[in-house]
Structure 1
Amino acid sequence: MPQNPRISRVEAVVNIASGGASPEAAEKMAALLAERGVTARVHAVQGEEVGRSLRTAIESAPDLVVILAGDGTARSAAELAGPDGPLIAPLAGGTMNMLPHAVYGVRPWEEALADALESGEARDIGGGCVDGRSFLVAAILGAPALWAPAREAMRAGNLSIALGRMRRAWSRAFSGRLRYALDGGPRGKAEALAFMCPMASKVMANDEQALEAAIIDPQGLAQAARIGLSALISDWRSDPAVTSVSCRTAGVWAAGRIPAVLDGEPARLPSAARIEWRPKVARVLAPPREADAA
């Protein structure tokens, strides 16, 4: 049975440019931690300071590293901490907040942190790895990955920027199909692929030791437009041009570098990439499981 860890020293990183955090949030977090008798250092940072502060926080080996930021910053923290480093607590401070919502549910970060400090347990969290980089929620490879920046611009209300990014994404549609092989099986072709960790998947149990692979293969411009619209306003996984299977490893090849999004952050992969499931990427301070809490 998981143990409730003793939390006495905390490092916290608040990304005040992530869309859901602010300097006031950093002050509120410092007060919340002080009220619970926790020795804490809170870093309110943005831009290039975020990575440096994460590294400094983790290298100081605290009992817990709290992150109030978006999924990308949480991904970086998990990657830096690794499977044997300090516990992390990824709180909802971004725009999509897929990882915080998967761990703590959809609720205010103050409530999630207070409950985690009071009754949280140390829990291993699995994820994927692509081209040496971890992802805890999802990785999207191929032209549809270019829709993600447009979606974020729409969320922020920047319509002109969103339209520019939509035009760029549309111009890349069908510019180069991917070849792939799942678990060493036969090769196939697709416009794009997405790999979702169990906590982000809608068809897998949270403790399943595999990735959900979504094969995105629109047949013509009409289906491509439909998937692009779904990427902006709903869930493209429900589109009939998307097929989902489970896998533990995958190889992906293209004629040139592969556009990708890893936990909400744009990335460029080489023309050949390997994706694999890793059962333990990091450790999180999570609420007790329902069976444990009963």
Structure 2
Amino acid sequence: MLVNPLSGGVDDNAVAEATAILSDHGCDATVITLESGRLEAQVDEALAAGPDVLLVLAGDGTAGTIAARVGPNGPLVAPLPGGTMNMLPQALYGTTDWKTALGLVLEEGVPLNVGGGEITDLDGRYAFYCAAILGSPALWAPAREAIRSGRLKLAWGYARRALRRAFSGRLRFALDARGFRRAEALVLISPTISRAVDENAGLEAAAMNPSDAAQAFRLAAHALFTDWRHDPTVSTTATRHVRVRARSRIPAVIDGEPVLLRQEAEVRFVRKAFRALAPAPAPAAGDPA
């Protein structure tokens, strides 16, 4: 088990509490505290030990980095909710309490293939397993995080910047082999959390086209806080490959982490990105148990 003590949802007692829970469940486990600047080396050391499962108590960014490093052929990964957004843990375990999630993993966990996407630009590659927001609505993410932490003055500054950037440059995007279209923003959602596409069909792509600042404000709020699929300015479809272009660098939020992409980027669907240890999903209404 890898624990990041600097994550927003991890306190000083996490290592001791995790050790006790693992012991109570009869696990032969080692709990490691991640150190600044040694993440890759510590992950390599953990993988070299040949574990059956790698438990990760950290934020979305760290958990995603570790899952990408493990890949589809490595051990099972259990990304426990240790950050502020906890997008992937919430999708897999339905809770933001890491101790509850750990109990579910140990008592009900089964191997599950997790699909996602991979964004590539000149700066590198960025994996996501929940969602990526590309375009000006992504600029609202820092404001939201500032509000969550009670820094209202900072949140207002971020909000003003987001309003200034709205409509300053629209995206051009092409889904699969189709021609380029324009949109204010593009949201790509993995089958892990999408209810609109089959797990093998690809990513759910949603193009956002607000007509004015008021709509942009509402749409940004929907994209970051509620279910934006019901918004009349949003249209969705399944896709396996996306090309994105803009006149300036593209603001993005990738699994909750703000990123500034280059002017051109590509996104591809990854059907099996890694194997998670999680409770089996409940069958949908009408499906056999």
For the aligned residue pairs, the C-alpha RMSD in angstroms reads 2.2
- Native 8 Å contact 2:251 2:260 kept in 1: yes
Q: 1:154 to 1:202 in 2, by over 3 A?
A: farther
Alignment of 1:92-103 (within 5 A): 92-103=81-92
Q: Which residue of 1 aligns with 2:173?
A: 180
Q: Which residue of 1 aligns with 2:260?
A: 268
Structure 2's unaligned 5+ residue stretches are none
Q: Which residue of 2 aligns with 1:66?
A: 55
* 1:277 correspondence with 2:269: yes
* 1:224 correspondence with 2:216: yes
234-243 vs 161-170, greater mean Cα deviation: 234-243
1:50 offset after TM fit, Å? 4.8
The code of the aligned residue for 2:33 comes to: A
* 1:142 correspondence with 2:135: yes
> Among 82, 87, 95, which residue is 2:71 paired with?
82
The code of the aligned residue for 2:56 comes to: I
- Native 8 Å contact 1:98 1:200 kept in 2: no
Structure 1's unaligned 5+ residue stretches are 1-11
Alignment of 1:211-250 (within 5 A): 211-231=203-223, 233-250=225-242
Q: 1:152 to 1:250 in 2, by over 3 A?
A: same
Q: 1:27 to 1:183 in 2, by over 3 A?
A: same
* 1:44 correspondence with 2:36: no
Alignment of 1:103-182 (within 5 A): 103-106=92-95, 108-131=97-120, 132-182=125-175
Q: Helix, strand or coil for the counterpart of 1:40? A: coil
The code of the aligned residue for 2:58 comes to: A
Q: 1:54 to 1:169 in 2, by over 3 A?
A: farther
The code of the aligned residue for 1:178 comes to: L
Post-superposition Cα deviations, 1:170-226, rounded to whole Å, max 9, x if no partner, equal 111111111011111121001110100012224235x34311101011112221122
- Native 8 Å contact 2:201 2:238 kept in 1: no
Post-superposition Cα deviations, 1:54-109, rounded to whole Å, max 9, x if no partner, equal 44433443221111222222211111101111211011122222211211122632
Number of equivalences? 281
Post-superposition Cα deviations, 1:93-140, rounded to whole Å, max 9, x if no partner, equal 222222112111226322322232233222211111111321000111
- Identity within the alignment, %: 46
The code of the aligned residue for 2:220 comes to: G
Q: Which residue of 2 aligns with 1:17?
A: 6
Q: Helix, strand or coil for the counterpart of 1:41? A: coil
Q: Which residue of 2 aligns with 1:33?
A: 22
Q: Helix, strand or coil for the counterpart of 1:240? A: coil
1:48 offset after TM fit, Å? 4.3
1:157 offset after TM fit, Å? 1.5
The code of the aligned residue for 1:14 comes to: V
1:164 offset after TM fit, Å? 1.3
59-68 vs 164-173, greater mean Cα deviation: 59-68
- Native 8 Å contact 1:58 1:80 kept in 2: no
Q: 1:147 to 1:48 in 2, by over 3 A?
A: farther
Take 1:162 and 1:49, find their aligned partners in 2: how far apart are those partners? Answer: 32
12-21 vs 275-284, greater mean Cα deviation: 12-21
Q: 1:144 to 1:107 in 2, by over 3 A?
A: closer
Take 1:140 and 1:56, find their aligned partners in 2: how far apart are those partners? Answer: 33
Take 1:152 and 1:177, find their aligned partners in 2: how far apart are those partners? Answer: 24
TM-score, normalised to structure 2, is 0.89
Q: Helix, strand or coil for the counterpart of 1:168? A: helix
Q: Which residue of 2 aligns with 1:3?
A: none
